[in-house]
Structure 1
């Protein structure tokens, strides 16, 4: 079922522009949640979005994937304005953007087995339905590090890390271009967190997936991201290459965030050393 993909590397900014947000703003009545957001995501790239609770991170992610509409601005996928009425009325293209949520238990239907949940995107997007769905499910279960017996279990019968792996399997089932990861490891302990991050990095390498990683945890964002955007009260106050933003923050708010960062756990340090050449 799965296609072969090019292997992305650091410096993915030389690749084609995949997703662009131009002058995006979002208001709920008089409350302005996002203002003048500009960002670009390239193919195979990981863009980390970091900021405190209430900074607008999740709203940005929901707009990027089309779950929410902005009050103003443009969202382009492969150069096409996805906010135009004719684009919104063509659900066949929506498979290109998928999302993994923070709460894996809430994200999975409690009545569905894991195999049933993985099948859901194929029902929503028949054009992405594999010729042999049972074999495809087996492949996806293996790809995310679950065991064959897990596919017949209900969500409450799995651990938090196993459920998040199932959510990732569901997200990659239609081979999307972009996956928005909304705090994907925040409810997991350090060891399981490192395992999930390693899985995401491997899937990125193997399948050429681009990620928007939303997190309040700068350590997690640093482990995965090529570029980082820092949100503060709905504004992007810092944006650039990950190491530039983290090591030489240009904004006072970013400096404040850096000063509050705890040392990474041993598991996350080992993961970073493995995938980032010792960074």
Structure 2
């Protein structure tokens, strides 16, 4: 009887393994260069391309929704099930063009200052544990009283035990929970177990303009890691969002990652 049960378990396990497809592919731009950290999803299944644009997504039987490729610098693309069910795909993304706000030019001498504080320190922290890429994005909400030109972000890593870890920051304009990026490219920061317990100041490489009386959301997510380890950030009392990157669902939070910004006031 035990032997029959064991055989039955093995057969059922093999059925689960066989009843899925493993889709592999490469994502490139129009010039044939691999596009890094593209979100690839089918229903609630999710992965991210590596630094060369390669990805792999295992899809259990019964999931036949379109495969969606999303990156803020490129136009979102979809592939029908009949295209990717063979297990091999090649995707070419076209650059997306956002109507970003023009930088305001002023004759006044501008001095850099803190334009958004972290908030009040809360007990505990915010962590991403044992993942290669996170399905969630988290960060603070910013309400502006002036026009700001962001020059840098500052935050602390409480602990990092990944041998390597890449974090992504995107600033979004919020209109009725619709999120629109205000930058052409995400900000990527590399960490390792040698970069913990320290404050980090990240200089921005493009102009990020935040408009007066407008709400913004700063989203932080882990897009690549060694898979085993953890990265933790101190938590602060400050309104924020956590967003599911596959479904797009957003939930408000009373505490979040402590991110401050410096820049110029116009």
TM-score w.r.t. length of structure 2: 0.27
| Higher strand proportion | 2
